[in-house]
Structure 1
Amino acid sequence: MQQRRQSFLDFMAACRGGNIAPAQDGKGADTFAEDIDNVTLACVQGWREGLEADEGTWWHTLAQQVPPGILLLFLLATLGVLYRYNLRLAGFHHGRADALELLAQRGAFHAETLETVAAALSADRVEMGRAARAPADQAIDMARAIMARK
């Protein structure tokens, strides 16, 4: 508020010219007072118009603020989809890498064995959608799937 007041006082000083003085002969003092009042009134009206132009209307503010918000929500939704996709892709490749490491330790590199182990360690069937179930439920389902393959 103090900054706004000082800004107004600076504006009024600049608007009035700062060095306006009445005539030295004493004539026209009333005219001088009227001129100062008119200048002051014009300055105040100009100040108010400047403030109103800076503040804008409610609709103008709404029109400026809502589109960036909608764009931000769109970008966040897109990033969420990309994040879930990258998690699935990383899980797929980590499952394949785990299968290769496991088979390398055992020394059994048969195509059928690799396919079976890779499918068991794969996270392809883990739901990454919006309505994903709890991780404990998914772990139980994975355990059931592994037990069913034996």
Structure 2
Amino acid sequence: MKKFTDLKVGEEFFSTCTFSKKELEGYLAFSRIKNTIFDDDEYSTIVSGRAIIARMEGEFTRLSQIYGNMILLYGMDGDASWENRNTRFLKPLHVDEILKIKFTISDKKDTDGDFGMIAIDFEGKKENGELVVVSKKNLYRIKKEPPK
């Protein structure tokens, strides 16, 4: 685990994940998303964009460099070059495809005596290198001294 003071802008971390059909069905049931695309056999293996973001956030919190810190999702800022939008879904991801995730610390600020703020950019690619999703400026408050 790295403390807030050890995290550097530009630093990158990596992870991989997949979605099983059962996990996708569980997410759709939990989120109560209702879209006819998921009723069509041709499209039923496409993973929901929100499910991808939720999994990427989960993978981020489990990184060995991050896990153990008190970290709270603060929000998502837009990117000025994207007209203040945060996330782009560029290609579909299907059930059982591997998603390779790169997390980049794009900003870091000291906010008060107890907490700092880090901005994390997520990038998810398929094994063949096709870019699936880019999500910029996901903001996290992080306690400067992790719980003991």
> Going by fraction, where is helix more abundant, 1 or 2?
1
Determine if the TM-score, normalized by the shorter chain, exceeds 0.5: no
Highest relative contact order (Cα 8 Å, sep 6+), 1 or 2?
2
Q: Give TM-score, length-normalised by structure 2.
A: 0.21
Q: Give TM-score, length-normalised by structure 1.
A: 0.21
Rg comparison, structure with higher value: 1
> Going by fraction, where is strand more abundant, 1 or 2?
2
